[in-house]
């Protein structure tokens, strides 16, 4: 995420700001310029769920929602839309197509059965995921290191972009099958096998998560989501001048614990040289607050190869 300032007083504001806390100027996010401006016309959803997009009518992000819950679920809906706005911002920053057949159904399982997923350009999210108690209970039950609303959206949008970035037939899908397996394998059989037997032994040597082992489609989506995590955090680190100049002790680590994201070239493997030391420092800070690791992942060489592959496809498409 970029850093933003109020267009009137130049004090810092955040991406989600609807008003400057310093000078009280009403603010709106211009999706075309991707800048924070003075409020002219606001999104139709501004009063209902706090959307800060530019109107009139629905802003670019809200217009992607095909189905939304009733007004009594507006709190959950607002949380989901806030995550979706951040997702859409990053997709546009990366030069990926946003629009066309891409739509979102934001539904509440309190009203009826909902399955979070993607099908034919429609991303469905169960708004129960906006409840931290439900989300943490599910995360613990499934033994997941990470579970957020934004993470769900990044995973499901990965399914949407796979046939766009690696269409069949193409050299890209051939390479994808070498790295992640043949996505034409029976999905239901893979799903049943995964939930009956769990991930294979030593799965972390080849996959970014246990769920990625379930089927090649899920390996792609999990890796794609992880790529978006990395790119967003690095952009934020650059925007706020965050760097790591190493520990205050002499260390014999093979990799130096120095991170200067702003100086990292655009090559993804070089970005990782800034990313990994940054995560060490962030994890150490989180532990100082009595929390678990902020970044509870280890990227094996096979996973890095997959991330680099996806990075190349995105750059070629953009």
Angle (CA) 55 87 60, round 5°: 20
| Amino acid 91: pLDDT | 98
| Amino acid 114: pLDDT | 92
Give the separation between CA 224 and CA 293, rounded to whole angstroms: 21
| Amino acid 258: pLDDT | 82
| Amino acid 253: pLDDT | 67
Give the separation between CA 68 and CA 65, rounded to whole angstroms: 7
| Amino acid 162: pLDDT | 98
| Amino acid 15: pLDDT | 98
135 within 8 A of 129, measured Cβ to Cβ: yes
What stretches in the chain show pLDDT beneath 70? Answer: 252-256
| Amino acid 71: pLDDT | 85
Q: What is the pTM of this model?
A: 0.95
Q: What is the DSSP track for 58-124?
A: S-TTGGGEEE---GGGHHHHHHHHHHHHHHHHHHHHTT----TT-EEEEE-TTTS----EEETTEEE
| Amino acid 256: pLDDT | 65
């Amino acid at each position: 995420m970029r850093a933003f300032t109020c267009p009137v007083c130049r004090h810092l504001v955040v991406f989600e700001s609807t008003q400057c806390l310093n000078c009280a100027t009403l603010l709106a996010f211009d999706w075309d310029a991707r800048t924070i401006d003075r409020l002219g016309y606001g999104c139709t959803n501004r009063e209902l769920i706090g959307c800060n997009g530019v109107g009139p009518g629905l802003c670019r992000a809200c217009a992607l929602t095909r189905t939304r819950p009733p007004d009594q679920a507006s709190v959950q809906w607002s949380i989901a839309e806030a995550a979706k706005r951040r997702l859409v911002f990053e997709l546009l920053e990366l030069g990926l197509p946003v629009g066309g057949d891409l739509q979102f159904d934001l539904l509440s399982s309190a009203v009826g059965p909902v399955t979070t997923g993607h099908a034919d350009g429609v991303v469905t999210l169960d708004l129960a995921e906006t409840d931290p108690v439900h989300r943490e209970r599910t995360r613990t039950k499934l033994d997941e290191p990470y579970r957020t609303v934004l993470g769900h959206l990044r995973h499901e949008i990965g399914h949407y972009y796979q046939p766009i970035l690696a269409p069949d037939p193409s050299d890209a899908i051939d390479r994808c099958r070498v790295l992640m397996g043949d996505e034409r394998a029976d999905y239901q059989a893979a799903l049943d096998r995964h939930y009956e037997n769990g991930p294979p032994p030593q799965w972390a040597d080849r996959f970014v998560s246990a769920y990625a082992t379930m089927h090649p489609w899920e390996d792609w989506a999990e890796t794609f989501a992880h790529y978006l995590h990395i790119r967003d955090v690095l952009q934020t680190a650059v925007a706020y001048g965050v760097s790591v100049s190493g520990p205050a002790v002499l260390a014999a680590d093979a990799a130096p614990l120095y991170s200067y994201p702003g100086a990292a070239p655009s090559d993804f493997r070089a970005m990782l040289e800034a990313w990994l030391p940054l995560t060490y420092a962030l994890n150490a800070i989180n532990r100082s607050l009595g929390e678990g690791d902020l970044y509870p992942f280890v990227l094996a060489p096979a996973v890095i190869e997959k991330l680099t592959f996806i990075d190349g496809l995105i750059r070629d498409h953009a």
